[in-house]
């Protein structure tokens, strides 16, 4: 049996060792296919990262697919049942690094657009592709830079599907219509180092911090809303002490992270954390890292089109969720358009033996194609 166009393209992409931020020729493969369909191509290289923007048509609305050609490292190859960069089919699953995150999606997008344009060469609006090779890395020179360049010239994406693996059990059972924001605080509480036998000459920053940390950890930050779970506060790292059992530490370092809903923003969180710390009279220094704003795409043209396409293929509607880590969707959402994520089952992503169901790739291709038909015909 010959491979379907989606499967053949997915295999071609997986066979290229595009470990982040290396693209390994994946984007050229996509570019050649899109050029043949009449797309205008713009390669955008920023530092070590290759990106491209492709567009077919000049009219509004501008609908775009977004994704990444880079993959996470294979890790210990000995643990893989099949070589990570040699695509293999086993029991109806396509195996290889990137099969689910997200070369399968990229193949589905390209083939969906090919089939759509064959049927509707004079479609309404415009179709775009925003593809990066730095999503799995530090995301400094990827999607965010392309978005900045497009916004600068007023070329805003109105509607976007990001191909991240959004599904849990069958493709399309979950569509992500937003993501939580993320913010990290690095707190240093200052004390006075000394001998544990002479506590009156020292000041223990661990003891001083406990009540404040307890309050931070037990605070109800918000109750979430229709689409978002309540904001969560977690302490992933703490550090104090010299290792000796007779020394009171001079400093206590605590790192905490909040995953927050659209009920909050960076400023409110910074203010509320400061209020709690100040209440406990701590001498401290606090550095913040803003990892991303939350975004939400509520009911509207794009969500309707995607939900109806998924429903037509699966005979059942997708759940709309905002769970999971941050994604490049947060950068695209800055253009104030609608952004959703629809892609394969994410059970094996970043793991050894990453794989995707071959049938799911065909279904995903159909879902993408029907979304285009719902929006641009």
- Catalytic positions, please? 70, 135
For 218, phi then psi, to 5°, come to -105, 0
CB of 4 to Zn ion, least distance (A): 23
In whole angstroms, what separates CA 269 from the centre of its chain?
22
Q: What is the Cα–Cα distance from 307 to 63, expressed in whole angstroms?
A: 16
Tell me whether residue 277 or residue 340 sits nearer to Zn ion (CB atom).
340
Q: Which is nearer to Zn ion, 20 or 209 (CB)?
A: 20
Strand 181-190 vs strand 251-260: parallel, antiparallel, or unpaired? Answer: antiparallel
**What are the backbone dihedrals phi and psi of residue 373, each rounded to the nearest 5 degrees, phi first?**
-65, -40
Total residues contacting Zn ion by CB under 5 A comes to 3
Q: Which residue is nearest to Zn ion (CB)?
A: 101
Question: Considering only residues 102-131, where is the footprint of Zn ion by CB under 5 A?
Answer: 102
In whole angstroms, the minimum distance from the beta carbon of 147 to Zn ion comes to: 17
Strand partners, 195: 247
Cα 344 to Cα 73, 94, 161, 356: the distances in Å are 20, 12, 13, 7
Instruction: Specify the length of the chain in residues.
Output: 377
Which of 68/366 has CB closer to Zn ion?
Answer: 68
Q: In whole angstroms, how close is the CB of 68 to Zn ion at the nearest point? A: 6
- What residues form DSSP beta bridges with 56? 127
CB of 65: closest distance to Zn ion in angstroms? 13
The correct pick among 101, 114, 328, 354 for binding Zn ion (CB under 5 A) is: 101
Under the binding rule (CB under 5 A), the answer on residue 70 touching Zn ion is no
How wide is the angle at C-alpha 106 spanned by C-alphas 102 and 112, nearest 5°?
Answer: 140
Which residue, 97 or 123, is less far from Zn ion as judged by CB? 97
Enter the tokens of residue 27: 């984007």
If the CB atoms of residues 233 and 368 are measured against Zn ion, the closer one turns out to be 368
| 60 half-sphere exposure, CB direction, 13 A CA radius | 6
Residue from 274, 202, 273, 271 nearest 240 by CA:
202
Site string for Zn ion, 275-304 (x = CB under 5 A): ------------------------------
Task: From 256, 201, 261, select the one nearest 230 (Cα to Cα).
Answer: 261
Q: Tell me if 110 sits within 8 A of 127, measured CB to CB.
A: no
Cβ-based nearer residue to Zn ion, 5 or 165: 165
Question: Closest separation between CB of residue 136 and Zn ion, Å?
Answer: 7
Compose the 162-181 pattern: x for residues touching Zn ion by CB under 5 A, - for all others.
Answer: --x-----------------
Of 96-104, 143-151, 291-299, 328-336, the segment contacting Zn ion by CB under 5 A is 96-104
Mind spelling out the 3-state secondary structure of 234-258? EEEEEEECCCCCCEECCEEEEEEEE
Contact range with Zn ion by CB under 5 A, out of 44-52, 100-108, 222-230, 291-299? 100-108
Binding site for Zn ion (CB under 5 A): 101-102, 164
């Amino acid at each position: 049996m010959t491979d379907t166009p989606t499967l053949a393209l997915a295999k071609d992409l997986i066979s290229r060792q595009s470990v982040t931020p290396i693209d390994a020729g994946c984007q050229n493969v996509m570019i050649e296919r899109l050029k043949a369909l009449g797309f205008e191509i713009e390669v955008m290289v920023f530092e070590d990262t290759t990106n491209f923007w492709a567009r077919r048509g000049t009219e509004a609305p501008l609908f775009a697919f977004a994704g990444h050609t880079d993959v996470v490292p294979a890790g210990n190859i000995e643990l893989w049942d099949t070589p990570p960069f040699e695509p293999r089919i086993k029991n109806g699953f396509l195996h290889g690094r990137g099969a689910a995150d997200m070369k399968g999606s990229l193949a589905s997008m390209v083939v969906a657009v090919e089939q759509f344009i064959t049927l509707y060469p004079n479609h309404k609006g415009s179709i775009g592709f925003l593809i990066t090779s730095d999503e799995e890395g530090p995301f400094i020179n990827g999607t965010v830079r392309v978005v900045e360049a497009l916004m600068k010239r007023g070329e805003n994406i109105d509607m976007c599907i990001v191909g991240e693996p959004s599904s849990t059990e069958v493709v399309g059972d979950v569509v992500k219509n937003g993501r939580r924001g993320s913010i990290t605080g690095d707190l240093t509480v200052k004390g006075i180092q000394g001998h544990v036998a002479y506590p009156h000459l020292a000041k223990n920053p661990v003891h001083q911090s406990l009540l404040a940390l307890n309050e931070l950890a037990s605070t109800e930050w918000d109750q979430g809303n229709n689409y978002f779970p309540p904001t969560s506060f977690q302490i992933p790292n703490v550090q104090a002490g010299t290792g000796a059992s007779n020394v009171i530490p001079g400093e206590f370092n605590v790192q905490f992270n909040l995953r927050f809903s659209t009920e909050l923003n960076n400023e409110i969180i910074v203010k509320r954390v400061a209020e709690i710390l100040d209440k406990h009279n701590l001498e401290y220094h606090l550095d913040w890292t803003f990892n991303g704003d939350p975004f939400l795409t509520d009911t509207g043209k794009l969500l309707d089109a995607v939900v109806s396409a998924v429903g037509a293929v699966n005979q059942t509607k997708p759940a709309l969720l905002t769970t999971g880590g941050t994604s490049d969707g947060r950068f695209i959402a800055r253009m104030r358009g609608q952004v959703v994520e629809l892609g394969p089952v994410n059970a094996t992503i970043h793991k050894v033996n990453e794989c995707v169901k071959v049938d799911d790739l065909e279904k995903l291709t159909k879902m993408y194609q029907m979304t285009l038909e719902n929006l641009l015909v």
